[in-house]
Amino acid sequence: MGAGGPRRGVGPPDGGWGWAVLGACFVVTGFAYGFPKAVSVFFRALMRDFGAGYSDMAWVSSIMLAMLYGTGPVSSILVNHFGCRPVMLVGGLLASAGMVLASFATRLLELYLTAGVLTGLGLALNFQPSLIMLGLYFDRRRPLANGLAAAGSPVFLSALSPLGQQLLERFGWRGGFLLLGGLLLHCCACGAVMRPPPGPGPRLRRDSASGAPGEEAADGAGRSLRAAPPGGRPRRRLLDVAVCADRAFAVYAVTKFLMALGLFVPAILLVNYAKDAGVPDADAAFLLSIVGFVDIVARPACGALAGLARLRPHVAYLFSLALLANGLTDLSSARARSYGALVAFCVAFGLSYGMVGALQFEVLMAAVGAHRFPSALGLVLLVEALAVLIGPPSAGRLVDALKNYEIIFYLAGSEVALAGVFMAVATNCCLRSSQDAPPSPGTEGGASDTEDAEAKGDSEPLSTEEPGGPEVLEVPHPGTGSAEPDMEAEPGQG
């Protein structure tokens, strides 16, 4: 192109050090999702020592998950202020300290504050930054990368559940908690891997609604920046709440709320359900491993499938199909009592659960764009936290009151299936309304305002888009024939 024409910025490497980042994200995801479920093997011993009911014990996992999700905006703000690596290092220390302190607990409240609040907060400060950094390193291979990283959850669940049972038998729940606290220090090593991707500093982004130059950018550490005033420096934007106005984001947030009401309930109740049905303790704990083994295969396979050129534009419908399959699995297996029936349930549940895990964050990235993903993820996790605080504790209370797991599976399955139907119908309605509405300047219609901007950027030679990152607008400097980004980074942030 001639002087002053657009220039392609350096995008995500889609490999290189990104594979190390992917490995660290694999470990962090495994701890974040596997740990709250794996500690359920300690519940019977805790119930005996504390004289509590199952609903009281279910609060440990629920608080842990609620902290993992509910502190999403806090994690977004910390990442935008300090970057991913420092936040993850602190998070690893907090997660470990929580389990170590929980081993000395003498009251339920102390257990809630240590294993629930402190460990949950530490896992949250590792989980969200790792996903943000993964999005900075991958674009073309992003669905596969998300699927591989999500496979950490079943791998760790299949390992942590039997490990927890062995620790419980050999050292008791106090010794088991202490050793698990030491294991969580590996999150600090994962945080040390999260260096910013190579390439130029911040870039000016095209506004998603009007197509005009926007005011936001993102640096290599995943932090959001605002455009600098004339002669000034860019200001960090700690939380972009304007993403809530995006229709695709609103649909996704409602779907996640409905999903979280029932998705985790069967996995949390499964071990104790099997024990109450007369299954030996070791065999009951192995059921979670079966879910994990199937999940291990399902997540990377579904990630690779979603990355196909024909399916990637329809990833939202693939996600809704996975939710519907998971809900129907719960509904059809509500009366499973024999060990063979429980194994069949675990295989079907692991397959559909793996599909949901592999697609959930890819759908969000596709809906809002990588540049708004940190803020969108934090807000979605907050919505999900509310559902997690309602779902599992309510299920535990119903188990205590009714002494019957059947209704729990019916409720959980109905909620997840409803989430899948809503996702498909709402996404289709949004697409139809966008196609029927007359296009406004700078947009071309679609389910998401961000997607509109990206589509426009693909067809206009003025703008370029870094794969997996913000769209870049090159602005010729006055008096020169070259085009350079109209933004400067603060020293040390490039």
- What is the token pair recorded at 272? 């104790």
Partners of 471 in the β-ladder: 465
Pairing of strands 483-485, 471-476: antiparallel
pLDDT at 11: 62
The ranges assigned to domains in the chain are 13-196, 238-433
Number of neighbouring beta carbons within 10 Å of residue 308: 9
User: pTM value?
Assistant: 0.67
Taking the C-alpha atoms of residue 128 and residue 143, their distance in angstroms, rounded to an integer, is 17
pLDDT at 490: 39
Sheet holding 235-236, edge to edge: 216-218, 224-226, 235-236
DSSP string, 140-185: TTHHHHHHHHHTHHHHHHHHHHHHHHHHHHHHHHHHHHHHHHHHTT
Helix H or strand E segment including 475? strand 471-476
Taking the C-alpha atoms of residue 377 and residue 132, their distance in angstroms, rounded to an integer, is 9
Are 269 and 408 in contact, with CB atoms under 8 Å apart? yes
pLDDT tens for the 494 residues of the chain, in order: 333 333 344 566 777 888 899 999 999 988 988 888 788 888 888 888 888 877 788 788 878 877 887 887 888 888 888 888 899 999 999 999 999 999 998 888 999 999 889 999 999 999 888 888 888 888 888 888 888 888 888 788 778 878 888 888 899 889 999 999 999 999 999 999 888 887 654 443 444 333 434 444 455 555 555 555 555 555 556 677 888 888 888 899 999 999 988 887 887 778 778 887 788 878 887 887 788 788 888 888 888 888 888 888 888 899 999 999 999 998 888 778 788 888 999 999 989 988 998 888 888 888 887 778 878 888 888 888 888 778 777 777 777 777 777 888 888 899 999 999 999 999 888 766 665 655 544 444 444 444 444 444 444 433 334 444 444 433 334 333 444 343 433 333 33
Helices (H), 307-372: 315-332, 339-368
pLDDT at 146: 83
Q: What value, to the nearest 5°, has the Cα angle with vertex 238 and ends 188 and 228?
A: 120
Taking the C-alpha atoms of residue 379 and residue 263, their distance in angstroms, rounded to an integer, is 19
Taking the C-alpha atoms of residue 226 and residue 243, their distance in angstroms, rounded to an integer, is 15
Q: What is the largest CA-CA distance in the chain?
A: 82
Question: Which CATH number is 238-433 given?
Answer: 1.20.1250.20
pLDDT at 448: 46
Helices (H), 184-314: 186-193, 247-262, 265-276, 281-306
pLDDT at 416: 92
**C-alpha 350: how far from its chain's center?**
18
Q: What value, to the nearest 5°, has the Cα angle with vertex 11 and ends 10 and 12?
A: 135
Are 25 and 191 in contact, with CB atoms under 8 Å apart? no
φ, ψ dihedrals at 235, nearest 5° = -105, 140
| 238-433 and 13-196 share a CATH fold | yes
Question: Which letter does DSSP use for residue 114 in this model?
Answer: I
Taking the C-alpha atoms of residue 365 and residue 371, their distance in angstroms, rounded to an integer, is 9
pLDDT digits (tens, 9 = 90+) for 249-287: 889 999 999 998 888 788 777 877 888 778 887 888 788
pLDDT at 188: 92
Beta carbons within 8 Å of 247's beta carbon, 6+ residues apart: 430, 434, 447, 448, 449
Indicate the SS3 state at residue 213.
strand
pLDDT at 219: 55
- Fold for the domain defined by 13-196: Growth Hormone; Chain: A; (1.20.1250)
pLDDT at 487: 40
pLDDT at 150: 83
Per-residue exposure over 450-477, b if at least 16 CB sit within 10 Å of its own CB, e if not? bbbbbebbeeeeebbbbbbbbbbbbeee
Sheet holding 463-465, edge to edge: 463-465, 471-476, 483-485
Are 265 and 392 in contact, with CB atoms under 8 Å apart? yes
pLDDT at 266: 83
Helix H or strand E segment including 404? none
Residues 316/321/323/328 CA torsion (nearest 10 deg): 170
Number of neighbouring beta carbons within 10 Å of residue 70: 22
- What is the token pair recorded at 156? 């760790």
Are 483 and 7 in contact, with CB atoms under 8 Å apart? yes
- What is the token pair recorded at 443? 């947009």
Taking the C-alpha atoms of residue 111 and residue 303, their distance in angstroms, rounded to an integer, is 37
pLDDT at 290: 86
Separation in Å, CA 396 to CA 47, 165, 355: 13, 21, 26
pLDDT at 98: 93
Q: Using DSSP, how many helices (H) and how many strands (E) does the chain show?
A: 18, 6
Give 278: exposed, middle or buried? Use CB within 10 Å, 0-12, 13-18, 19+.
Answer: exposed
- How many residues appear in the chain? 494
pLDDT at 389: 75
Pairing of strands 224-226, 216-218: antiparallel
